[in-house]
């Protein structure tokens, strides 16, 4: 559990083109009650560029609120072969 007064720190892994928006160390402090949509806005990812989003290994929706220690994975459309 986070200490009182601290903000949640999440681990972020942005794949392919989204890597450009991700802090290089992959860890990020987010304001309390930030959801996935808020996180993407914070990172400056244009809406519509993220096709799949995961929190702690499971698919998540934009309104999922992030908590301390969450692992977030974001994917753009990928179709190369």
Partner 1 sequence: MIQSETLLARMQALTREEPCDGGSPLPTLSEEHLSALSRETGQGMRELQVLALRHGITPARYLRNFRELTSGDQERLLSSRAGLAGLGGLGGHLLESLVRMGVGTIMVADGDRFEESNLNRQLLSERDTLGMAKTEAARRRAAAVNPAVEIQAMSLTLDRQGLRTFFRGADVLFDGLGGVAVKKLLLECARDLGIPVISAAAAGWSCIVTTVLPGQSAPPDLFGSAGGAELSLGCLAPAIAVAAAVQCSEGVRLLCGRKPALAGKLLAVDLSRGSFEVFEL
14: alpha, beta or left, given left = phi > 0 and alpha = psi -120 to 50? Answer: beta
To partner 1, the closest distance from the beta carbon of 5 in angstroms equals 32
Comparison of 7 and 37: residue with beta carbon closer to partner 1 = 37
Q: Confirm or reject binding of residue 19 to partner 1 (CB under 8 A).
A: yes
Residue 80 found at the interface with partner 1 (CB under 8 A): yes
Residue 22 exposure: Cα atoms within 13 Å on the Cβ side: 20
In this structure, how many other beta carbons lie within 10 angstroms of the beta carbon of residue 55?
Answer: 19
Structural tokens at position 47: 């809406």
Asked if 51 interacts with partner 1 (CB under 8 A), we say yes
Q: Single out the residue of 6, 29, 31, 52 in contact with partner 1 (rule: CB under 8 A).
A: 52
């Amino acid at each position: 559990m986070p200490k009182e007064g601290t903000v949640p720190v999440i681990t972020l892994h942005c794949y392919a083109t989204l890597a450009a928006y991700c802090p290089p160390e992959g860890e990020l402090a987010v304001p309390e009650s930030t959801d996935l949509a808020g996180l993407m806005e914070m990172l400056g990812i244009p809406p519509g560029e993220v096709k799949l989003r995961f929190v702690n290994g499971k698919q998540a929706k934009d309104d999922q609120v992030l908590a301390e220690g969450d692992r977030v994975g974001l994917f753009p459309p990928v179709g190369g072969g």
